[in-house]
Structure 1
Amino acid sequence: MSKKDFIFPIRNDLVIDYYTVEDMSEQLKVWAFELVKTNMHDMYSKSNDGWDEEQKKKEMRVPEMRYLIARAASDPQDLKGFLSFQILHEETMDDDIMAQAAYCFELQLIPSARSQGLGEFLMQILERVGNYWKMDKIMLTVFKANKGGFRFYTEKLGFTLDEISPGACLSALRARRFDYEILSKLCNNN
């Protein structure tokens, strides 16, 4: 699939480009990784698994990864942020059933692009992808320490703890060992 542009409806000065990993330039791949590192390094470093730069680079470059990259309409080099996702089969609490999920791996914005509706818009595009491809749900993982991110996904976008999230399927005592939760939202075709 080739690159596609989406016009950002709230502001006509932004464009969203769609890329497969294969379509992305090395410069874009490096920029996306550096944005994750800038925004998330401290949170990852304090997590149970820590920050593993090579593993994160590898994850971001798997052939199945897709990117929605926000940029200024007037300047393709003026990048604002991105959402990366994959279409996955995810486990459920029923051993015989796998869920089809559009899984958000990263939603990262530069500081000046935050609190303007761009993150919400990128997530809405992912929901449209999930609905179009008749996925069961949209999923993502969020660190418990990321209070702002947790509120954004649950209060603003309507995500809830997924059935396989530690906080949903384990006792409170066992769930405390995990520093993340898995959130999900059903697609409209359900």
Structure 2
Amino acid sequence: MEFKRLSNNLYDDINNTTNKRRRANRKEILEKKKAIGEVIKVALAEKDPLSSFPAFRCYRRENLSVYFESGRGDELSFHLKNYIQNLLKVNMEGPYGFEWPVEEKVKRREMVACEARYIFVYEALNANACKSSSRLERSFTNCRADRRPLVGFVHYRFVIEEELPVLYVYELQLESRVQGKGLGKFLMQLIELIAQKNQMGAVLLTVQKANLGAMNFYVNNLRYLVSTISPSRVDPSIGIQKSYEILCKTFDHEANAILAEENVGSKLSNI
């Protein structure tokens, strides 16, 4: 009888200890989720993410002079909506192929979401207006006054992926006449700065496999990796059937362990 009572007490002690650990783990998980949610909330609340990077307000190279403005999906003008739709069709109808009609409808919904954030690229009329100087704010003001039509945009969002705060690039679209001049790389550097400033663990983006130029740009030029959440790494047999890859660049150990786990298969060796 005494042995049975001791056994029961021991069993109760083990149960109590286990329950305490579960409660502690649950509390830790909830606190982490709350902290991540707050990080996303603060990032979304910033009115002009570009204001922290005045040196990146303008870009000038050879015969190209542009400047950037922030925007959000639920504040797009009729003109901006049309521009985005038209440029997407010109640049992406080919890579998507027969999937484009469906994807176009999805992209139209995505572009006006309240979570959507934009960097709009305007060409400056005066090539010298955006020249680098110690008075960057005045230079930026001159660019705004002398701007020509839009020549491209970046659509990005602050989201939670695999329980991590990340910046997800939905679109980076440039008109053909401003491509190949370093502008895309400059914009991605700016995106990475915005991500790190807002405590995002990584930058993620989706690329169509058929878009070989874009794949080469991200993987070989910018050193992005195929993420662990990309279909080809989740299940190679399923990945073969998918038309896209999810790429990433991580900024801390936790994000790297969860989203990258760099190994032999994490880069596209055939690019």
* TM class by smaller structure: 0.7 to 0.9
Equivalent residue, structure 2, for 1:153: 218
Aligned pair in 2 of structure 1 residues 152, 52: CA closer, same or farther (>3 Å)? closer
The alignment status of 1:70 with 2:121, answered yes or no, reads yes
Equivalent pairs counted in the alignment come to: 182
More helix by share: 2
2:159 is equivalent to residue 88 of structure 1: yes
Question: Which runs of 5 or more residues in structure 2 are unaligned?
Answer: 1-46, 52-56, 126-145, 255-271
State the partner residue of 2:6: none
Q: Give 2:177's aligned amino acid.
A: S
Structure 1 residues without counterparts, runs of 5 or longer: 92-97
Do the aligned partners of 1:141 and 1:182 also contact (CA within 8 Å) in 2?
Answer: yes
Letter in 1 for 2:123: A
Normalised by the length of structure 1, the TM-score is 0.86
Measured after TM superposition, the shift of residue 80 of structure 1 is 1.4
Q: C-alpha root-mean-square deviation of aligned residues, in Å?
A: 2.2
Tell me which residue corresponds to 2:209. 144
TM-score normalised per structure 2: 0.62
1:19–1:67 contact (8 Å) kept in structure 2 = yes
Counterparts of 1:30 and 1:154 in 2: how far apart (Å)? 31
Q: Which runs of 4+ in 1 moved over 6 A?
A: none
TM-aligned CA distance change 1:157 to 1:35, over 3 Å: same
Aligned partners of 1:44 and 1:51 also within 8 Å: no
| 1:124 maps to amino acid | Q
Change (3 A) 1:4 1:125: closer
- Determine whether 1:180 maps to 2:244: yes
Q: Which residue of 1 aligns with 2:150?
A: 79
Gap change, CA 1:132 and 1:73, over 3 Å in 2: same
**Alignment identity in percent?**
30
Answer whether contact 2:207 2:215 (CA < 8 A) is retained. Answer: yes
Tell me which of 128, 144, 147 is aligned to 2:193: 128
Provide the C-alpha distance between the structure 1 equivalents of 2:233 and 2:188, rounded to a whole number of angstroms.
23
Alpha-carbon deviation of 1:188? Answer: 6.2
Structure 1 residue aligned with 2:19 = none
Identify if the C-alpha distance between structure 1 residues 100 and 46 changes in structure 2 by more than 3 Å, giving closer, same or farther.
same
